[in-house]
Amino acid sequence: MIHLTEEEIAQCSDALQDGTFDRLPKAIRTHLAECDACASEVSVLTELMAVPAAKTKHVRPLHHYAMAGAAALLAAVLLFFWQKSTTQHEAVQWAEMDPTVQTPTEPIPVLDTVQPPKEKPVKRYAQNVELEKLRRNFEGSYRSSVIDVLTPSIDTLRSKDRLVWNNPNGLPLYVEILDHTNHQVQWIETSASYVDINCLPSGLYYWKLFNVEYDLLYCGKIIVQPSNH
C-alpha cells in the first residue's frame, strides 16, 4: 500500500482542525479508512498542532546557548578543582586506614608514552557514541561490590594524573585506555588502587576497568587538557 505523503497527511490534519474533513478528496478519505498507519499519523499530527507553544519546553535563542555553554565551562572548571581535591583527600584518608593500599613510595604502574595523534585539536575531543553509551551505563553505579571507582565518571585531567578506585583486597585488575576512536592507547595490569596517567596527549579518552575474568567493572571518560591550560 502506498502511504500518504507528508503534505497529504498535513492536508488531512488541517481539514480536521478546520472541520472540513468531508471536503477532502475521496481517495484520501478512503485511504484513511483503510490504512492504520496514515490514520494514526494524522491523528497524532492533529494533536501536535493543537498543543500550544507554551506547553512545550521553552526554546532558548542561539546566543543563550552560547552563554549557557560558557557558564557550563566555568562550572566544569570549578567542579574539576573541587573534585580533584575531594578525590585526592579521600584517597589519602582511605590509604591511611588500609594497609593493603600502596603508598606513594611503592612502585607505581606508569603508562607508556603515547605518540600525539595527528588530528585537529577539536577532533581529539569528539565523543565516541558507543563508548559514551557504555560510560552512561556505569555512571553513578558500580557493577562490582568489591571495586568502587573513586575517579568521577567524567574526569578532567592534565597530562599527568591518576585514576583511583577502591581495591582493598589487592585483586588483579586491568585498565584499558581508549582514544575517542575506540582504539586502544594503553593496557595495564595492576593490583593497586590507582594507575598513574603520564604523557597522554590532550584529547578525549575513555578508560575501562576489568577484573581477571575480563568482566567489565567500569567505564569512564577522561578529558586531558592541553598542558598550557
The least CB distance from residue 201 to other proteins, in Å, is 24
CA pair distance 87, 83, nearest whole angstrom? 6
Distances (CA, A) of 23 to 15, 20, 36, 166, 169: 8, 5, 21, 71, 77
Residue 137 binding other proteins, by CB under 8 A: yes
Q: Which residues contact 203 (CB under 8 A, 6 or more apart)?
A: 117, 119, 124, 125, 179, 180, 224
Q: Smallest distance, Å, CB 168 to other proteins?
A: 27
How far is it, in rounded angstroms, from Cα 51 to Cα 35? 25
163 contacts: CB under 8 Å, gap ≥ 6: 151, 155, 175, 194, 195, 197, 207, 220, 222
**CB-wise, 10 or 223, nearer to other proteins?**
10
Instruction: Answer yes or no whether residue 73 interacts with other proteins by CB under 8 A.
Output: no
String marking each residue 30-59 x if it binds other proteins according to CB under 8 A: x-xx--xx-xxxxxxxxxxxxx-x-xxx-x
In the complex, minimum distance from the CB of residue 140 to other proteins, in angstroms, rounded to a whole number: 8
Cell of 72: 557550563
Q: What is the nearest approach in angstroms of other proteins to the Cβ of residue 4?
A: 9
C-beta of 49 vs 70, nearer to other proteins: 49
Nearer to other proteins, 97 or 122 (CB): 122
In total, the chain counts a number of residues equal to 229
Nearer to other proteins, 34 or 189 (CB): 34
- Applying CB under 8 A, the residues found at the interface with other proteins are 5-11, 13-14, 16, 21, 29-30, 32-33, 36-37, 39-51, 53, 55-57, 59, 61-62, 65, 133, 136-137, 140
